[in-house]
Chains A and B, each alone.
Chain A
Amino acid sequence: MIAALAFYVFAAILIGSAAMVVSARNPVHSVLFLILAFFNAAALFLLAGAEFLAMILVIVYVGAVAVLFLFVVMMLDVDFAALRGGFQRYLPVGLMVGLVLLIELGLVLSGWKFLPEAASIRFAPGVSNVSNTAQLGRLIYTDYVFLFQSAGLVLLVAMIGAIVLTLRDKGDSRRQVIARQIARDPNHTMVMMNLASHVGTKDLGYLRPTETEPEEAGDMPEQDHHEHAAQDVARGGHH
C-alpha cells in the first residue's frame, strides 16, 4: 500500500518535472528540473528493487551528466530565445505528429496481451539471496561479456571522437609533463631571500610565467625568477 502510494507520488513528480524541463523559460531551471526527474526515476528503480541501477542513475546522471549540462548552460552563450522561436514555429506540426503517433500507439497498446509462450521464454529471474549488484556483475561478465566489450568499444570511439574533434595542438597550449615535473630540482625554481621585517613587499600583481622558455612555459607551475619574488610562488596555470 505504501509502496503503491510512493510509486504514484514519485511518478507524478517525475512526469511533472519532465514537463517543466521542456517548458521552463529559464534554462538553468530546466536543468534543475532534469535533476529532480533523475532523482525520482532513481526512486522508482528503488521501489522496483533495483538498488544498483538507482545508485548508478544518481551518481552518473545527477553527479556527472546533469552537472555538465549546468556548466554548459551557464558558460556558453546560447541564444535560447532563438531556440524557443524554432520551438514555437514547429509546435503545431510537432503536436499533430505527436498526437497521431499517440493515437496509433494507443490503438496498438489497447490490444496488449502476452504471448502464451512469453512467460516460458522470458529469462528466469535472478537468484533471490544474491544482491542485484552481484547478479548484474555475473551476467555482464559472463553471458553478456560480448555486449559489455562492444559497449566498451563504443565508449572508446566516443573518446577518440571527442579528442579528434576538439583537441587543438596549438604549440603554446599548456600540457602537463609529469616526468619533468617530478625531475624538477627545487634549487632551480626557488629563490630564498631575506626580507627586512616591517618593510613588506611590493605589490607583485598577478604572476605570469616568463616567456623566455616557450618549451618549458606550459610544463609546470611556473616559478618567478625575478629578484623581487620573495616566496615560493607555486601557482602556475591560472590563465
Chain B
Amino acid sequence: MTNWTTMNWTLAIPEIVLSCFAMAILVFGALWKRESFRMCSMMAVGALLVTAMLVVSNSSGIGYRGLFTNDSFSGFIKLLVLVSSALGIIVSLDYAEHENLRRFEFPVLIMLCTVGMMIMASASNLMTLYLGLELQSLAIYVLAAFARDQLRSSEAGLKYFVLGALASGLLLYGISLIYGFSGSMAFDRLATALSDPTKASPGLIVGIVFVIAGLAFKISAVPFHMWTPDVYEGAPTPVTSFMGTAPKVAAMALLVRAMATPFGHLLPQWQQLIVLVSIASMLLGSLAAIGQTNIKRLMAYSSIGHMGYTLIGLAAGTAVGIRGVLIYLVTYVFMNAGTFACIIAMRRRGRMLEKVSDLSGLAKTDPGLAAALMIFMFSMAGIPPFTGFWGKYFIFTAAVQSGLWTLAVIGVLTSVIGAYYYLRIIKVMYFDEAHEAFDPRPGSLTFVGGVSAIFTTVFFLFPAPLVGAAEAAARVLFG
C-alpha cells in the first residue's frame, strides 16, 4: 500500500541512527554491572559526532508525506544542536563525579532530547513540530530534576514540568485553532491557503498567537520567561548549561520556520507581536540581571536578553534577518557553553560555588580561567572583536534594513545596560581581593572553555564560511 521509496525515509537517517545509539547505550548501561557513566558519556559524544557526519552527508528533500523536511536551514540547526549537546555532555563528566550523579541515563536523555531537537529543526507539519518539541521538553524536565535528592533540583524539574505542560497546552490549542480555521497542518498547504493575507480569519491569527506563546515559553521570552531563573538556578549546572544552549537554538529555529514558512504571508500580522516580545525580553533581561548575586540566575536573565536580540532578526522578516538570527545563535551557543564551563569550574574544597562574589580576585589565583571568563563576558556585552559583537551587528543591521529603527535603538540601549553587569563580573575578577584558589580544574572543562574562548576570539578572522552557511540557510526560508 505504501511505497517506501516515495516516503524518502532516508532523510531521517541521522535521527534514526541517533535514537538507535541512544537505545543501545541505554541497554548497555542497564546491563553493564560496573560503573558505566563515563563510558556511556564517551559513547554518546561519539554517537553525536557520527550523527553530525550523517547530517552533513544527508541529502535535502521532503520525506514522510510532507511531515519531514531536510534543507540547509535544518542542516545548519542540526549541526549546531549536535555540537552543543556534545559540549553539554562533556561539561557534565566531572560534575557528575563530584555531585554523585553518575548515572548512565544522563547521556541517554541528552541524546533523546537531541533527537527531539533535530525533529524540531526538520518539522514541516504542526504535528511533527509538536512531537519534536515534547520529546525535547520531556527529556529536559527529567534532566532538570536529575539531582533528585536536592530539593532545589526536584523543585526546578517540577516547576518546569507544570509550566511546560501549560505552554504545551497553549501550543496545542493554537494548533487546533489553526487546523480548524485552515483545514491543514502541513506547512506547505498552510502557506498556499494563506497566500492571500486578506482572507486569513482572525481565529487563525489568534491560533498563531497561541503558537507563538507556546514557543516563546521554550525560548524563555517575556512574558513567558518566569520559569527561567528558578529552573536555571535549581537544575544541576551542566543541565543548565545544556538547557541554555541546544534547546534554545532548536526552539528558536522552530519559531523561525513556523513563522516564515506557513505564515510567511502574514508577516504584518505577527511581526508586531514578535517586536513586542523582543522589546520586553531585552528590557527585562538587562534590567533584572543587575541585582543578581547568583551567577546562574544572572545567566538566566542574560539568556532572556539574548533571546530578545535574536527575535529582532525574526521580526525583520527578511533573509538578512534570519541570517542574523542564525549567526547570533551560533555565537550565543559558544559563549554560553564556555561561560557555564567556567561556572562549573567554580569549586572550592569540593563544594560548588555560585555567587558572583566567589569570583573575586580570580585573575590572581587562576589567570587562565579569569581570562576565559573575561572573553565570554566581553563577548556577551557585545564588545568587538568578540563574536557577541558580530552577532549583534548582523541583527541590528537587518533591523535597520527592514526599517525597525525602534527595535535597533532599544537593542543598543539595552546592550549598554547589559554591559554593566557583564563588566561587573570582570571587575570582580580582576580588581577585588583574592580569595582562596579554586580546586584544580578538570581537563574536560578546560577543553570546552578553551574551544569556546578560541572560537569567540578568532571568529572575526574567518567569518565567511559561517556567514555563507547562514546566508544559504536563510535563503531557504525567505527566498
Q: Does A235 contact B (CB under 8 A)?
A: no
Q: Is B135 touching A150 in the complex (CB atoms < 8 A)?
A: yes
A113-B201, A115-B181 known; A108 vs B145 contact (CB < 8 Å): no
Please name all residues of chain A whose beta carbon is closer than 8 Å to the beta carbon of B417 when the two chains form the complex: none
Distance of A125 from chain B, by nearest CB (Å): 13
Q: Which of A90-138 contact B (CB under 8 A)?
A: 104-105, 107-109, 111-119, 121-122, 138
Q: Does A75 contact B (CB under 8 A)?
A: no
Q: Which of A122, A138, A150, A160 contacts B128 (CB 8 A)?
A: A150
Q: Is A161 touching B203 in the complex (CB atoms < 8 A)?
A: no
Taking CB as reference atom, which chain B residue is nearest A143?
Answer: B65
Q: Is A147 touching B201 in the complex (CB atoms < 8 A)?
A: no
Q: Does B461 contact A (CB under 8 A)?
A: no
A108-B202, A119-B183 known; A147 vs B131 contact (CB < 8 Å): yes
Q: How many A-B residue pairs have CB under 8 A?
A: 109
Q: Does A145 contact B (CB under 8 A)?
A: yes
Question: How many A residues are at the interface, by size bracket?
Answer: 35 or more
Q: Which of B115, B141, B182, B201 contacts A161 (CB 8 A)?
A: B141
User: Within the assembled complex, what's the spacing in Å between the Cα atoms of A156 and B24?
Assistant: 13
Q: Does B411 contact A (CB under 8 A)?
A: no
Q: Is B132 touching A165 in the complex (CB atoms < 8 A)?
A: no
Please name all residues of chain B whose beta carbon is closer than 8 Å to the beta carbon of A165 when the two chains form the complex: 142, 145, 148, 154, 157
Q: B108, B138, B157: which has the most chain A beta carbons within 10 Å?
A: B138
Q: Is A142 touching B2 in the complex (CB atoms < 8 A)?
A: yes
Please name all residues of chain B whose beta carbon is closer than 8 Å to the beta carbon of A147 when the two chains form the complex: 67, 127-128, 131
Distance of B17 from chain A, by nearest CB (Å): 13
Q: Is B183 touching A164 in the complex (CB atoms < 8 A)?
A: no
Q: Does B19 contact A (CB under 8 A)?
A: yes
Q: Does B83 contact A (CB under 8 A)?
A: no
Q: Which of B26, B145, B183 contacts A160 (CB 8 A)?
A: B26
Please name all residues of chain A whose beta carbon is closer than 8 Å to the beta carbon of B119 when the two chains form the complex: 150
Q: Is B112 touching A157 in the complex (CB atoms < 8 A)?
A: yes
Q: Does A80 contact B (CB under 8 A)?
A: no
Q: Which of B166-191 contact A (CB under 8 A)?
A: 181-184, 189
Q: B7, B109, B139: which has the most chain A beta carbons within 10 Å?
A: B139
| Residues of chain B having any CB pair with chain A under 8 Å | 1-2, 7, 12, 19, 23, 26, 63-65, 67-68, 103, 105, 108-109, 112-113, 115-116, 119, 127-128, 131-132, 134-135, 138-139, 141-142, 145-146, 148, 154, 157, 181-184, 189, 192-193, 199, 201-203, 206
With A153-B19, A160-B108 already in contact, 12 other A-B pairs whose C-beta atoms are closer than 8 Å = A108-B203, A143-B64, A144-B127, A146-B63, A146-B67, A147-B131, A153-B115, A153-B116, A157-B113, A157-B138, A161-B138, A164-B103
